[in-house]
């Protein structure tokens, strides 16, 4: 039996995208039905929220008794915990890995009152500027994933909002934790990171590979929302034994310092 195929030079992901047309399915409607089914009130989340794809930050805070479950978070797929540091309160969602999952949660966070979303994701080293672990403020990300193409027309990169980039660059100029700045590669297929791809991207000055930033920045631009993505460079893709070491407290001590610096800088300049 011959398999029927419709050949087209343009792949389906790039066809029929009306970028200015609103979606029929909205996060507001999804949350409305989730609250109805779960008998939850329509409560707002904290204005600053964190995506923690590895789950190490939220697990560390829970183990220390510093994070409490938010019982009013209506998302079908995740739990939210609340963490406070001084006057800063954050809603933290763990283990939302990959571009589609991250943006699925981001849409619901902003529909629930979030005003700044911070993502702190583990990443693999592409350009060896130093020995892992270390942190990078992602200024732009190569769109080698699918989700961003549902939000923005095709182009190579999606980028952080320029005003937000400026605010954070100033904030980290005197930080006790070193934060580099640069470009990452966002992929949907971590086990297809070939030697040829790595060599080509290294020659373009791309520092690391991760799975969320390009989609989150595309969402940010399309929706007019404030999102900042950090890469915690923790590994060299497991090529050598002893890889994936994150640092003190599994990397959470320094990651939280960076998150709180970003949150305070944004709050002092942009919070309404």
Whether the Cβ atoms of residue 269 and residue 167 lie closer than 8 Å to each other: yes
User: What does CATH list as the number for 40-269?
Assistant: 3.40.50.1580
Taking each helix axis as running N to C, give the angle between helix 56-63 and helix 252-269, from 0 to 180 degrees, rounded to the nearest 10: 100
Could you give the CA distance from residue 192 to residue 72 in angstroms, rounded to a whole number? 39
Burial class (CB in 10 A: 0-12, 13-18, 19+), 267: middle
Range scoring the smallest mean pLDDT among 2-16, 28-42, 60-74, 220-234: 2-16
Q: Torsions phi, psi of 2, nearest 5?
A: -90, 130
pLDDT at position 144 over 70:
yes
Q: Is the pLDDT of residue 9 over 90?
A: no
The pLDDT tens digits of the residues spanning 68-122 come to 999 999 999 999 999 999 999 999 999 999 999 999 999 999 999 999 999 999 9
pTM of the predicted model, to two decimals?
Answer: 0.94
Task: Write the CA distances from 39 to 34, 72, 262, integer angstroms.
Answer: 8, 9, 35
> Where do the domains of the chain lie?
40-269
């Amino acid at each position: 039996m011959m398999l029927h195929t419709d050949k087209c030079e343009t792949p389906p992901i790039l066809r029929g995208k009306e970028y200015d047309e609103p979606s029929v399915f909205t996060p507001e409607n999804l949350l409305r039905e989730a609250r109805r089914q779960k008998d939850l009130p329509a409560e707002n989340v904290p204005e600053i929220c964190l995506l923690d794809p590895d789950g190490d930050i939220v697990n560390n805070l829970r183990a220390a008794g510093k994070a409490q479950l938010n019982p009013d978070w209506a998302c079908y797929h995740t739990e939210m915990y609340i963490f406070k540091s001084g006057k800063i309160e954050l809603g933290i969602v763990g283990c939302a890995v990959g571009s589609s999952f991250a943006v699925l949660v981001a849409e619901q966070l902003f529909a629930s009152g979030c005003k700044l979303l911070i993502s702190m994701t583990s990443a693999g080293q592409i350009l060896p500027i130093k020995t892992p672990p270390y942190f990078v403020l992602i200024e732009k990300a190569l769109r080698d994933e699918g989700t961003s193409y549902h939000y923005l027309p095709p182009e190579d990169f999606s980028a952080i909002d320029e005003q937000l980039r400026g605010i954070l660059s100033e904030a980290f100029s005197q930080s006790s934790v070193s934060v580099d700045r640069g470009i990452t590669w966002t992929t949907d297929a971590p086990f297809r990171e070939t030697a040829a791809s790595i060599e080509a991207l290294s020659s373009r000055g791309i520092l690391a590979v991760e799975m969320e930033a390009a989609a989150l920045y595309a969402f940010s631009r399309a929706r007019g929302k404030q999102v900042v993505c950090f890469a915690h460079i923790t590994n060299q893709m497991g090529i050598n034994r002893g890889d994936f070491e994150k640092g003190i407290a599994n990397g959470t001590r320094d990651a939280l310092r960076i998150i709180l610096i970003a949150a305070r800088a944004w709050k002092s300049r942009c919070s309404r």
